Chain A
Amino acid sequence: MQRYPSALIFRVMNRTNSTHRKSSLRASFLSCGIAFLALLLTCLPARSVAAAPPTFTVGWSVYAGWNPYFYMAKSGILKKWADKYGVVIKVQRFDYGASLDAFVAKNIDACTMTNMEALDMPAAAGVDSTVVLVGDYSNGNDQVLARNNLTLAQLPGKPILLVQKTVSEYLLERAMVLNGLDSQLPKLKLLNTSDSDIVGAYLGDKSNQVAVTWKPLVSEILAQDSGVKSLFDSSRIPEEILDLLVVRTEVLKRPDGSGVKFARAIAGAWYETVAQIAAANAQAISGSAAASGDSVASYKEQLKTTYLYSTPQAAAQFSQSGDLKQKMDLVRQFCFHHALLGQNIQSVDDVAILYPDGAIQGKKDRVRLRVDATYMQLAAQGKL
Chain B
Amino acid sequence: MAQSFRIADLTGIQVRPARLWTHSLSWILFVAGIALYAHFSIVRHRENPEDRVIPSATQLVQGMKASVLEPAEEDDPLDPGASLVQQVRHSMIWKDTVSSARRFLIALLLLVPAMLIGLHMAVFPYAGAFFLRFVLFFDKIVALSLLPILFIVFGIDEWSKIMLMVIGVAPTLMLDAYNISGGVPREQIVKAFTLKSTNLDVAYRVVLKQVLPQLINSVRLNLKPLALFLFAGEMIASTDGLAYRIAIMRRHMGMDIIIPYLLWVALLLFMLDALLRFTNRRLHPWYQPL
Same complex origin of A and B: yes
Stretch binding the partner chain, chosen from A58-66, A218-226, A333-341:
A333-341
Taking CB atoms, residues of chain A closer than 8 Å to B156 are: 159, 161, 191, 193, 201, 205, 208
For the complex, is B96 an interface residue (Cβ under 8 Å from A)? no
Stretch binding the partner chain, chosen from A124-132, A173-181, A275-283, A353-361:
A124-132
For the complex, is B147 an interface residue (Cβ under 8 Å from A)? yes
CA distance A73 to B254 in the complex (A): 33
Taking CB atoms, residues of chain B closer than 8 Å to A164 are: 248, 251
For the complex, is A290 an interface residue (Cβ under 8 Å from B)? no
For the complex, is A255 an interface residue (Cβ under 8 Å from B)? no
CA distance A105 to B248 in the complex (A): 19
Q: Are B48 and A127 in contact (CB under 8 A)?
A: yes
Q: Are A124 and B252 in contact (CB under 8 A)?
A: yes
Taking CB atoms, residues of chain B closer than 8 Å to A196 are: 236
Interface residues of A in 179-209 (CB under 8 A from B): 189-194, 196-197, 200-201, 204-205, 207-208
For the complex, is A18 an interface residue (Cβ under 8 Å from B)? no
Q: Choose among B59, B148, B152, B251 the residue that contacts A165 (Cβ–Cβ < 8 A).
A: B251
Taking CB atoms, residues of chain B closer than 8 Å to A126 are: 48-52
Q: Choose among A104, A120, A161, A343 the residue that contacts B256 (Cβ–Cβ < 8 A).
A: A343
Taking CB atoms, residues of chain A closer than 8 Å to B51 are: 125-126
Q: Given known contacts A125-B52, A190-B239, A192-B239, is B152 in contact with A340 (CB within 8 Å)?
A: no
Q: What total of A-B pairs shows CB separation below 8 Å?
A: 97
CA distance A101 to B52 in the complex (A): 11
Taking CB atoms, residues of chain A closer than 8 Å to B73 are: 338-339
CA distance A201 to B149 in the complex (A): 9
Interface residues of B in 41-97 (CB under 8 A from A): 48-53, 59, 62-63, 66, 73-74
Most buried by B among A121, A166, A204: A204
Q: Are B52 and A342 in contact (CB under 8 A)?
A: yes
For the complex, is A322 an interface residue (Cβ under 8 Å from B)? no
CA distance A343 to B67 in the complex (A): 10
Q: Given known contacts A126-B50, A126-B51, A192-B237, is B251 in contact with A340 (CB within 8 Å)?
A: yes
Taking CB atoms, residues of chain A closer than 8 Å to B211 are: none
Q: Given known contacts A101-B253, A343-B254, is B49 in contact with A201 (CB within 8 Å)?
A: no
Q: Are B257 and A191 in contact (CB under 8 A)?
A: no
For the complex, is A344 an interface residue (Cβ under 8 Å from B)? yes
Taking CB atoms, residues of chain A closer than 8 Å to B66 are: 343
Q: How far, in Å, is A349 (CB) from chain B's closest CB? A: 15
Q: Are B155 and A104 in contact (CB under 8 A)?
A: no
B residues with CB within 8 A of A: 48-53, 59, 62-63, 66, 73-74, 147-148, 151-152, 155-156, 235-239, 244, 247-248, 250-254, 256-257
- Going nearest first, the 4 A-B pairs with the smallest beta carbon separation are A126-B50, A204-B152, A200-B148, A125-B52
28 A-B pairs with C-beta separation under 8 A: A104-B52, A121-B253, A124-B253, A125-B52, A125-B53, A126-B52, A161-B156, A165-B248, A166-B251, A190-B239, A191-B238, A193-B156, A193-B236, A194-B235, A196-B236, A197-B147, A197-B148, A197-B236, A197-B237, A201-B156, A204-B152, A205-B155, A205-B156, A208-B156, A339-B73, A340-B252, A343-B62, A343-B256
